[in-house]
Amino acid sequence: MELNKYLDVAPEVAAALAAGKPVVALESTIISHGMPYPQNVETALKVEEIIRQTGAVPATIAVIGGRLKAGCSKEDIEHLGKKGLAVTKASRRDLAVLVARGEDGATTVTTTMIIAHMAGIKIFATGGIGGVHRGAETTMDISADLEELSHTPVMVVCAGAKSILDLGLTLEYLETHGVPVIGYGTKELPAFYTRKSGFAVDYEIDTPAELAKAFAVQQELGFQGGMLVTNPIPEEYSMDPEVINKAINDAVAEAKAQGIHGKETTPFLLAKIKDLTGGDSLDSNIQLVFNNARLAARTAMELSKLA
């Protein structure tokens, strides 16, 4: 693959890819928009450490000074963490302008998939994907993450779609676009903060080896889209459904009252839910990201054996 002239692949990541070793992509919106400094930097570095301990190479994805980065240095991560909300939350529509202007961008699920694919990275761990927002039948507020999953061949390991969304409509959208939704050890879609949603996934798969084989076959068949692996939050960090659902409903109502919409919706809701739950939701969020990183790394290791 001829690398894009705007792309910088970190030496450690490039060496791993050249040697056929496992690599796991990580997003950077969670650093700049997901939590306060210095907790955001500590969490990002911990996720990288977990991936290394599992036997794979982490590649945190971002836009730094107009360069697409597949693999960030500690200094890059510190920069994004300190700059925080001043960093543009970069979706597909933002990339060209940010690169042209030489600006910074924190990558969403969408842009992490795009840059990972440019670099040749096939597996990506995140917290939760975006999806169809509640009330989308009137607002048409649907995350670009879903569209990206339909045509970019990267496996995304997450704890389900964020539970602030309309989960039923999110699954319908993914089905329409031919994206397989896999439950890791579950037949039910996890709901981010909780292990159950009441909605069924397409398939249950119980081992990283089987996940890797399914994704490898999908690529060999020539299908262009990705694969969504939903990994339930560990039981001990799962939140009380009544508590979290009340917090979500209250946050959604406040967002509507304040006229919050578009790309500001998710950061507003997550911050509000954190306040309403006394910080418990943020603790759960961090733990589910760690859990997804482990599974992604184990799956990447199995995928590397199939090459």
Give the single-character DSSP code of 153: -
Return the sign of the alpha-carbon dihedral for residues 297, 195, 165, 264: negative
Choose the catalytic residue: 122, 162, 263, 272: 162
Residue with tokens 């910088």: 8
Closest by Cα among 164, 193, 205, 165 to 295? 205
Closest by Cα among 191, 173, 190, 169 to 248? 191
Residue 96, token pair as written in the block: 């060209």
Choose the catalytic residue: 27, 48, 78, 148: 27
Q: Is 162 a catalytic residue?
A: yes
Residue 256, token pair as written in the block: 């509507």
| Beta-strand pair 105-107/57-64 | antiparallel
Contact present, 200 and 172 (Cβ < 8 Å): no
Distance CA 279, CA 61 (A): 27
Expressed in angstroms, the distance from the first to the final Cα of the chain is 16
Distance CA 260, CA 266 (A): 9
What are the residues facing 98 on neighbouring strands?
A: none
Q: Is 27 a catalytic residue?
A: yes
Q: Which residues are catalytic?
A: 27, 162
